[in-house]
Amino acid sequence: MFVTWPILVFLGFGVFVVGSVVGSFLNVCIYRIPWQKSVIWPSSRCPRCLGTIAATDNVPIVGWLALRGECRTCGLPISKRYPLIEALVGLLFVGLYVTDVLCAARGDYGQIPTASLATFAYHALLTALLVAATFIDYDLYIIPDQVTVTGMVLGLLIGTMSPDIRPLPGTASSYGGGFWVGIVGLLVGAGLTAGVRTFASALLRREAMGFGDVTLMAMIGSFLGWQAAVLTFFLAPFFGLAHALFKLTTYLQKRLRGGQLSSADREIPFGPYLSMAAVALLLSWNWLWPYWAGDLFEMYRTVFWLMLGVKVGPPR
């Protein structure tokens, strides 16, 4: 399809609308999945008056603004987080649209290749799963298997059926190769996290990391390959640094004042920062891998084999 810039801008607005609708559905998932409730039935209701929310009031972002953040029937305040999540997912989808569609190679006459749209949809699916995992983990310090195990299966299935859909160097040329890349990514993501979890728990003599983080990293690896999973794990602490400092400050203030401390004062959910790192890599991978990350992995590959006494040449 031949497209011009006005059409691309219009498509970008459409992507934001679709993202906000997905964000509205994720609000339901974030609330219901931890309590083992269906995300399809029943329809959304006010928790106070149990009145069904009308379709016009359920329009993402606009519905909340029209209601001025209150239930139409009983006036119960509606959290600002709902429209903020809808807007967040919309903006993330737009970011992926810019990265995977606008900045991707075009056809001879400016056409958008089908592969670019498929890549965008693949990354948007992963992003939606990461947003759900982030807010559930932030609220309850858990990451349900309904999110991560479902994500693992989808990452493996789509990556197998479309073996060239993963980012470099995780692309493959056959169904078997696509499946193998997903399996290796899943095992490396889960194994790395499980190893650090076991070591840190033994060192601290308490659980240092939830098992949900292991399955979350497995999901990320199945979608993106093992290289992106490794980078995600080591970049995540930098995204959580501000929260860690805030928690530490709050903890010290409570101790100095003799206040009662709880486990929440000493714990930080790691899942949100794994998700942030993964999304950041999605938005920057097209530039990050060829200009920095690829050389980094090649250097460590060479050092690893030299330590074993094996002389290696450049990768084929």
How far apart, in whole angstroms, are the C-alpha atoms of residue 195 and residue 99? 33
pLDDT in tens, the chain (316 residues): 556 778 888 999 999 999 999 999 999 999 999 999 999 888 888 888 888 888 888 999 999 999 999 998 898 999 999 999 999 999 999 999 999 999 988 776 668 888 999 999 999 999 999 999 999 999 999 999 999 999 999 999 999 999 999 999 999 999 999 999 999 999 999 999 999 999 999 998 888 889 999 999 999 999 999 999 999 999 999 999 988 888 888 777 877 887 776 666 678 899 999 999 999 999 999 999 999 999 999 988 888 778 877 776 665 5
Are 188 and 229 contacting, i.e. CB atoms less than 8 angstroms apart? yes
DSSP state of 57: G
Are 130 and 280 contacting, i.e. CB atoms less than 8 angstroms apart? no
DSSP state of 316: -
Percent of all residues in the chain with a pLDDT value above 70, rounded to a whole number = 95
In this structure, what are the phi and psi dihedrals at residue 52, rounded to the nearest 5 degrees?
-70, 135
Read off the pLDDT of residues 276-299 as tens digits, 9 standing for 90 and up.
Answer: 999 999 999 999 999 999 999 998
Read off the pLDDT of residues 86-140 as tens digits, 9 standing for 90 and up.
Answer: 999 999 999 999 999 999 887 766 688 889 999 999 999 999 999 999 999 999 9
Nearest Cα neighbor of 228 from 156, 153, 279, 177 is 279
Average pLDDT, the chain: 91
H or E element in which residue 10 lies: helix 5-32
Six-digit token pair at 278?
A: 């993964």
